[in-house]
Chain A
Amino acid sequence: MEEKPFTTGSYREFLESGRIMANRCRNCGSVHLPPRPICPRCGGRSLSWMEIQGRGTLQAFTVVHVPPKRLRGREPYATGIVKLEGGPSVSGLILDVKRGEDINIGAEVEAVVVREEDGVKLCFRLV
């Protein structure tokens, strides 16, 4: 695992095997999800892999009623920004939610890795 480069491809490969892999800057300690080759906070290039557990809290959300073409037929669907335990925030579909009134910022969520036609995706479910 330590051998893998910090690329979008590595992130996807891990996700395909059900693991959410971030990387951590050895210099300043900041955590990046998805992983990247250069720490955006301090510019450091000494980084290490770090596995993220899937629990987090919802920071912001929307329920999309006018979807892009590739998600046609799925609307309305919820998507949001989740702050994960361990530090990083990430965007993900919030499964099984159809109305904005049914979710709140601060809600606890759990990650689910979903395989779809256009690739493997990080999604969340309300806990």
Chain B
Amino acid sequence: MGLFRNVAIVGAGMTRFHNRIHVGKTGRDLFVEAVLEAADSVDKGFELREAEAIFIGNYSSDCFEGQSHTAALISDWLGLTPRPSIRVEDACASSGVAINMAALAVASGAYDLVIVGGFEKMTGRETEEATEILAMAADALYEVPVGFTFPGLYAAIATAHFKRYGSSWEELAAITIKNHRNGALNEKAHFQSDIMDTARRLGERHNMTFKDELEFLRSPLNPFVAYPLRLFDCCPISDGASALIVASSDIAKRYTDTPIYIKGFGQASDTFSLHDREELTELKATRIAASQAYKMAEVSPEDIDVADVHDCFTIAEVLAVEDLGFFPKGQGGKAALEGRTSLDGERPINPDGGLKAKGHPVGATGAAMAYEMFKQLRGEAGRRQVDDAEIGLAQNVGASGATVVVQVYGR
């Protein structure tokens, strides 16, 4: 697929992702906050009313907040009526897909400047209710009634991966440790303490001490959520929003001298139910979406300097780094264990802490990945900056991989 013209991000903003600090705010409050930060981040200035359309990723304000017709609501709340406002719902990939839709709309010439982002206000519901709402992204007839939850589906993938490749939970633990270490360097992250600090803090409360991370992660303070996945293998439930100002390459330099271009993007679907996949140890849609994005950007996996991948559960990061072509099948977890995906490793993955530590307000996640790439590629990522990052990638997954969207970003 060729594009009529190129598309760039000229501003990015996000709220901190968190489960408590946004109590009292609604989804619309969070989204407005992210958009205002994105607008303020535009180097040469940007007025909201310059935007011609809005694309919003949101999974389920319907169930979480009792509010549908979210796109028009947001347009109104941004003071942007009568501009068209479009909501995209593709489960956890909602705002990742919204970015592609925005890119297509701008590349087509229909618009020069649009706002794209996402939000989710999740903490108004109890954990069991939230589990039920999240499980709606799986098959409500053939997966959920027989007990599959969202963690359960990834746990099943983990058992199949362990069996096929001899991979192990210890490799998953290495991803937990790495992503929390990165999250500790990110002021927008839900969790900002590394696993050893966490172990000390939780240990004090329960009169326990731990000699290292693994001892803590194997302890009763890290209980099973869905065997073999434990609590710290799972991303938290967070509130948050993220937003980008997206411009055509024709006008991008009016807004900043360092726009970040969406060099390539792709999207693929797969069987809705996990059980219908021929292969349970990969997300085929990742491979397909990535090959589209690589082709459009004219890059190969080796060219990617930094990536944000969809680690809703630790096993998902293993699948991602394998299916994106960064490491051979079966070696994704080992790469983390060997430090190859750490901030100072050969291929830093999830420098912002990933969904694991940064948090996962479902609809906000894809655009938050773009936010991180925008910061990394402009050299503005502070303590978590990856050296010489020139080409970045984001991979955003819907549910158990029935939707995957990939973008390649560059200066």
What residues of chain A have their CB less than 8 Å away from a CB belonging to chain B? 8, 34, 40, 59-72, 74, 76-82, 89-93, 99-100, 105-106, 118-119, 121-123
Give the residues in chain A near B274, CB-CB below 8 Å: 60, 81, 91
CA distance in complex: A122, B148 (Å) = 13
Q: Which B residues from 128 to 154 make CB contacts under 8 A with A? A: 128-129, 131-132, 135, 139, 141-149, 151-153
Give the residues in chain A near B224, CB-CB below 8 Å: 63, 65, 76, 100
Q: Is the CB of B226 within 8 A of A62?
A: yes
Question: Is B92's beta carbon under 8 Å from chain A?
Answer: no
Q: Is the CB of A90 within 8 A of B159?
A: no
Q: Is the CB of B223 within 8 A of A91?
A: no
Question: Is B185's beta carbon under 8 Å from chain A?
Answer: no
Q: Which B residues from 148 to 174 make CB contacts under 8 A with A? A: 148-149, 151-153, 155-157, 159-160, 163
Give the residues in chain A near B276, CB-CB below 8 Å: 40, 89
How many chain B residues touch A (Cβ–Cβ < 8 Å)?
Answer: 38
Q: Is the CB of A60 within 8 A of B146?
A: no
Among candidates B128, B142, B145, B151, residue contacting A90 with C-beta atoms closer than 8 Å: B142
Give the residues in chain B near A74, CB-CB below 8 Å: 147
Give the residues in chain A near B157, CB-CB below 8 Å: 60
Give the residues in chain A near B163, CB-CB below 8 Å: 105-106
CA distance in complex: A69, B153 (Å) = 17
Given contacts A64-B151, A69-B131, A90-B142, 13 further A-B contacts (CB under 8 A): A60-B159, A62-B148, A62-B153, A62-B229, A64-B147, A64-B155, A68-B132, A71-B147, A72-B128, A77-B147, A79-B147, A89-B275, A119-B145
Among candidates A8, A62, A68, A93, residue contacting B135 with C-beta atoms closer than 8 Å: A68
Question: Is B41's beta carbon under 8 Å from chain A?
Answer: no
**Per-position binary interface string of chain B over residues 374-397, scored 1 when its CB falls under 8 Å from any chain A CB and 0 otherwise:** 000000000000000000000000
Nearest neighbor of A66 in chain B, beta-carbon distance: B225
Give the residues in chain A near B210, CB-CB below 8 Å: none
* B223 smallest CB distance to A (angstroms): 7
Q: Is the CB of B152 within 8 A of A64?
A: yes
Nearest neighbor of A124 in chain B, beta-carbon distance: B146
Nearest neighbor of B151 in chain A, beta-carbon distance: A66
* B221 smallest CB distance to A (angstroms): 14
CA distance in complex: A30, B132 (Å) = 33
Nearest neighbor of B277 in chain A, beta-carbon distance: A89
CA distance in complex: A70, B131 (Å) = 10
Among candidates B132, B152, B271, residue contacting A62 with C-beta atoms closer than 8 Å: B152
Q: Is the CB of A69 within 8 A of B128?
A: yes
**Per-position binary interface string of chain B over residues 195-230, scored 1 when its CB falls under 8 Å from any chain A CB and 0 otherwise:** 000000000000000000000000000011111110
Q: Is the CB of A66 within 8 A of B226?
A: yes
Question: Is B280's beta carbon under 8 Å from chain A?
Answer: yes
Q: Which of A8, A62, A63, A122 has the most CB of B within 10 A?
A: A62
Give the residues in chain A near B139, CB-CB below 8 Å: 91
Q: Is the CB of B128 within 8 A of A123?
A: no
CA distance in complex: A33, B143 (Å) = 12
CA distance in complex: A118, B147 (Å) = 12
Question: Is B123's beta carbon under 8 Å from chain A?
Answer: no
Q: Is the CB of B156 within 8 A of A92?
A: no
Among candidates A59, A91, A92, residue contacting B160 with C-beta atoms closer than 8 Å: A59
Question: Is B26's beta carbon under 8 Å from chain A?
Answer: no
Question: Is B273's beta carbon under 8 Å from chain A?
Answer: yes
Q: Is the CB of A105 within 8 A of B159?
A: yes
Question: Is B300's beta carbon under 8 Å from chain A?
Answer: no
Q: Which 8 A-B pairs have the closest CB atoms?
A: A100-B227, A62-B155, A79-B147, A63-B227, A60-B156, A60-B160, A68-B132, A81-B275
Q: Which of A93, A99, A105, A121 has the most CB of B within 10 A?
A: A105
Nearest neighbor of B133 in chain A, beta-carbon distance: A68
CA distance in complex: A64, B147 (Å) = 8
**Per-position binary interface string of chain B over residues 220-258, scored 1 when its CB falls under 8 Å from any chain A CB and 0 otherwise:** 000111111100000000000000000000000000000
Question: Is B127's beta carbon under 8 Å from chain A?
Answer: yes
CA distance in complex: A65, B230 (Å) = 9
Q: Is the CB of A67 within 8 A of B128?
A: yes
CA distance in complex: A82, B147 (Å) = 14
